[in-house]
Structure 1
C-alpha cells in the first residue's frame, strides 16, 4: 500500500475501534432483536452494526458477521477484538442465492484510496474513478448456513450494495419458517447493476407475508419509494 493508503487504513481502523454509529436505531430494532437472540449481519463492513447488535443480544446471544473482503475484514476483526466483543463471529463469506465463488469489485476512488464501503458483487460503476480491485471470494446461502449450524435467526441486516435480491432468494427457507425481521438498504441503481429490480424485490417479500417501513420516519410503505433503509417484518 502507498503511504496515503496506509494512512487511510489506519483512519478507518481508528473509527471502527473507537466510535459507535447507529445507536439511534436500537429502539427501532429492539422489538425484533431479543436478548439471547441471533442476528445475521450480511455485509458487516467495519463492524458498526455488528457492535450494536452485540450489545443488544447480550452475552448469551450471537451475531454472525459476514464480510467477504479481506481488506475490510481485517478492520472488522481488529475492531471487534479491541472492543472485546466475544459474541460476534466473523465469516469470510459472501451470501448469495447459490454456493460457489463470486468476484467482489472494490472501487479505487479518484484520490487513489479504496472505496471499501462500496464493494459489490454487481460491479461499482462510476464509483471506480481510478479502476477497481477484483477479488474472488467464496459465497454460500443463508439457508445452507442456518441448516449447517442449526440456528434460529431473529433478525437480518443486509447492506450488500445491490446484491440484496440474490441474498434474499438464498434465504427463502429461513424467511418462510423462522420469520426474522429484515433491515436492508435498497438502491435502484445498485440493484440494477446486479440484475435486480426494486419493485420485484418488494413483491417477492410481500408474497412471503412481509410488510415494510421506510426510514427515517419509519412509516409503512407498500412499494419501493426510493433509495434508503427499509425494515421488513412478517405480517
Structure 2
C-alpha cells in the first residue's frame, strides 16, 4: 500500500527509473517497511494477534506496511503536511477501519510542545530546532505548537501491542517514558520495540542512548541489538 507521497517528485534523471521498469528490476524498498513486515510475519506465524503503534509516522510507510497485512495501527504524527499524506493514503487504500491517526506528539506528559520543521521537507521535524536542521543543510525552519500525549494515556491495558515503532528525531526517551506501563508488560505481552538511536539527535534533545538503555532495563528490556541507527529490543518469556 502507498500514500500519494510515495510517488514523490520526479528524480533528477527519471529516465533511469524508466529503464529499471523496462528491465524488470525492483526498486529498493523502504527499510522500515521491510522490517515491519518481517516482525509482523513472525508474529502471525506464532499465532499472536494485536496492533501496531507508529510514533513519528511521517507519511505512513510503516503504518501502511502493517495495514497491508491486516493489522490495526495507531499512528502519531504532529506535522500537518504529513497528516494530509497519511489521510490520502487511508482514503485511497480504503483502510479507515484499520488505521487510527492522532495529530499529536507522543511524550511523557499531557500538554503542548513546540516542534520545528524544515521548510520544503516533510521528513525531519523535531522538538529540538538543532535536531531539525542537523540532517540537512538548511537554516529555514518553522516552529509550531502541537499537543503531547503519553502512550499510556491512549493504549488500553486490555489491548495487545505487537510492535512499537518510534522515530522522532531525538525525542525517543520522552516517548518511551510515557509508555512505561505498556513497556512493563510481561514477556511476549510486551511489544517488539524499534526506535531510532541517533546519538547526535538525542543529545540535541538533552538525552542519550545510555539514558534510554538504562530506562529500558528498568522495564525489562535487556535484549537490544543495533540495526544501523535503529535499536531493536525484545523481552524473553
Question: What is the TM-score with the length of structure 2 in the denominator?
Answer: 0.77
Give the distance between the partners of 2:226 and 2:209, measured in 1 at CA: 14
Q: Residue 186 of structure 1: CA displacement?
A: 1.1
Does residue 1:64 correspond to 2:77, yes or no? no
- 1:162 maps to 170
Instruction: Find out whether 1:202 has 2:213 as its counterpart.
Output: yes
- Give the Å deviation of 1:131: 1.9
Point out 4+ residue stretches in structure 1 off by more than 6 angstroms: none
Aligned residue among 146, 154, 172 for 1:137: 146
* Residue 212 of structure 2 corresponds to residue 212 of structure 1: no
Contact 1:13 1:75 in 2 (8 A): no
Counterparts of 1:65-144 in structure 2, within 5 Å, are 65-86=75-96, 87-108=98-119, 113=120, 115-123=121-129, 124-126=132-134, 127=136, 129-144=138-153
- Structure 1 partner of 2:55: 42
- Alignment partners' CA distance in 1, 2:230 and 2:41: 17
Q: Displacement, 1:90? A: 1.1
Shift of 1:72: 1.0
Distance 1:230 1:30, change over 3 A: farther
- Could you tell me which runs of 5 or more consecutive residues in structure 1 were left unpaired when the two chains were aligned: 1-9, 216-226
- CA-atom RMSD, angstroms? 2.5
Task: Mark the CA change 1:11 to 1:49 in structure 2 (over 3 Å): closer, same or farther.
Answer: closer
2:19 aligns to what? Answer: none
Q: Distance in 2 between matches of 1:29 and 1:122?
A: 32
Please point out which of 4, 18, 30 is paired with 1:21: 30
Distance (Å, rounded) in 2 between the aligned partners of 1:158 and 1:69: 15
- Structure 2: unaligned runs, 5 residues or longer: 10-27
CA contact (8 A) 2:43 2:49 kept: no
Does the CA contact (< 8 Å) of 1:20 and 1:52 recur in 2? no
The answer (yes or no) to whether the contact 1:181–1:232 under 8 Å persists in 2 is yes
Q: Partners in 2 of 1:11 and 1:50 — Cα distance?
A: 14
- Structure 1's 128 and 76: CA in aligned 2 closer, same or farther, altered over 3 A? farther
Separation in 2, partners of 1:78, 1:43: 17
- Alpha-carbon distance between aligned partners in 2 of 1:74 and 1:168, rounded to the nearest angstrom: 26
Aligned to 2:5: 12
User: What is the count of residue pairs matched by the alignment?
Assistant: 204
